[in-house]
A = this chain, B = another copy of it.
Amino acid sequence: MKQLKIVQIGLGPLGRKIPGYIAQRQGMELVGAVDVNPALQGQDVGELCGLSPMNIKISASLEECLKAAKPDAAILTTVSTMEKVTPQIEEIVGCGLPVVSTCEELIYPWDTSPERSAQIDEAAKKANVAVLGTGVNPGFLMDALPVFLSSVCQQVERIRVSRFQNAAFRRVPFQKKIGAGLNLEEFESLKQSGTLRHVGLTESVQLIANAMGWKLTKTEDIITPVIAEKEIKTDAMTIPKGFAAGVQQIGKGWMGEGEKITLHFKAAVGEPEPYDRVEIEGEPNISSTIKDGVNGDVATCAIVLNALKQITEATPGLRTMADIPITAFFR
């Protein structure tokens, strides 16, 4: 098998994990790294990522990087919104490279950003390469997986996906990030600051709706606290009864009066039964549960790497997880 040569663009917390995961694979090789942060430029990417030196210096731009390296594809882990990612993708495909990105809004941007989607699609087709947004969520658990499970259904009436996580065993910064331990007023002001929001839930709703052929009349994206029903004690904090133990976000897709799609994402300290569950109301009914849920940190990096093979062979243009050949682990 040919080894895929990869350039990593964006060396934030997620991007710094990718080089180590690439190094564990036989089918791919890191050949370049790019970040706009001047403090990182010129550093060895292996050293930055806590690995052995790789003899790959971080470049200021893709153009500069391409003077030394000849990658087959780019991984882009920089921003979450279509507004910010569009010019970045145009630059990458302009260099003739297919792209897999963790940009959350990119997983199905056709409804929320039709003009930017068309712009990316056109640039990718012109360059004869494919572009994909993916990740464990959004990108797989709450969108592509329920779509694939519907393959065995003669009829689908409604789809509900639940991703429930117990934050008790996560780092304290994560617990604070989801509002655990705040009173409801403090939670509300954290929510207003915007940092609580899981980006891409509406796009997951729309990816499913498009696959089912459902023309939605309305989508919703609702954030509320998970309220502690009794006092919760952890090593790091005590959450009084009635305070926030974490956050939940519910995405809904409606057709008229019918709630066709419900995506329920919950992360809370003391969540009794963490899992990822897909429920399809149809013929037959399907209830599929991943016990303990999927660890998002490893899984997001993994699915990005696993999608590289498909995306280098996919039909050019802006693709989604629902219109490329099924992704799979590849060494």
The A265-297 residues at the B interface (CB cut-off 8 A) are: 282-284, 286-292, 294-295
A40 at the interface (CB under 8 A from B): no
The verdict on A67 contacting chain B, using a C-beta distance below 8 Å, is no
Q: Does B284 contact A294, Cβ atoms closer than 8 Å?
A: yes
CB distance from A99 to the nearest CB of B (A): 18
What does DSSP make chain A's interface, helix, strand, loop or mixed?
Answer: mixed
Chain A interface residue count, Cβ-Cβ cutoff 8 angstroms: 53
Is A187 among interface residues, defined by CB-CB distance under 8 A?
Answer: no
Let me know if A1 is at the binding interface, CB within 8 A: yes
What residue in chain B is nearest A136 (Cβ atoms)?
B152
A321: interface (CB < 8 Å): yes
A299 — which chain B residues lie within 8 A by C-beta? Answer: 152-154, 284
By a CB distance below 8 angstroms, the chain B residues around A211 are 328-330
On chain B, the residues within 8 Å of A155 by CB distance are 24, 329
When A212-B328, A325-B323, A331-B213 are in contact, do A148 and B150 touch as well, CB less than 8 Å? no
- Distance of A23 from chain B, by nearest CB (Å): 11
Q: Mark A23-56, 1 if CB is under 8 A from B, else 0.
A: 0100100000000000000000000000000000
Asked if B152 and A302 make an inter-chain contact with CB atoms under 8 angstroms apart, the answer reads: yes
A21 cross-chain contacts in B, Cβ below 8 A: 154
Q: Does A172 contact B (CB under 8 A)?
A: no
Report which of B141, B154, B292, B302 forms a contact with A24, defined as CB distance below 8 A.
Answer: B154
* Residue of chain B at shortest CB distance from A276: B288
Q: A27 vs B213: C-alpha distance in the bound complex, in angstroms?
A: 10
Question: In whole angstroms, what is the CA distance A148 to B278 when docked?
Answer: 15
Q: How far is the CA of A220 from the CA of B302 in the complex (A)?
A: 31
Question: How far does the Cβ of A328 sit from chain B's closest Cβ, in whole Å?
Answer: 5
Question: Is the C-beta of A184 less than 8 angstroms from some C-beta in chain B?
Answer: no
Give the complex CA separation of A30 and B282 in angstroms.
Answer: 23
Q: B294 near A152 (CB under 8 angstroms)?
A: yes
A124 nearest CB across to chain B (Å): 17
| A212-B328, A328-B148, A328-B211 given; A154·B302 CB < 8 A | yes
Interface centre among A153, A303, A321 (most CB of B within 10 A): A153
Residue A298 CB within 8 A of the other chain: yes
Give Cα distance in the complex from A140 to B150, angstroms: 11
The residues of A with any CB-CB pair to B shorter than 8 Å are 1, 21, 24, 27, 136, 140-141, 144-145, 147-156, 211-213, 282-284, 286-292, 294-295, 298-299, 301-303, 305-307, 321-331
A-B contact pairs, 11 of them (CB 8 A): A145-B148, A148-B148, A150-B328, A151-B303, A151-B327, A151-B328, A153-B329, A283-B298, A283-B302, A286-B294, A323-B326
In the complex, given contacts A148-B148, A152-B294, what are 8 additional A-B residue pairs having Cβ atoms less than 8 angstroms apart?
A151-B302, A153-B329, A154-B301, A154-B302, A213-B330, A282-B329, A286-B290, A322-B328
Question: What 3 pairs between A and B have smallest CB-CB spacing?
Answer: A150-B329, A152-B299, A154-B302
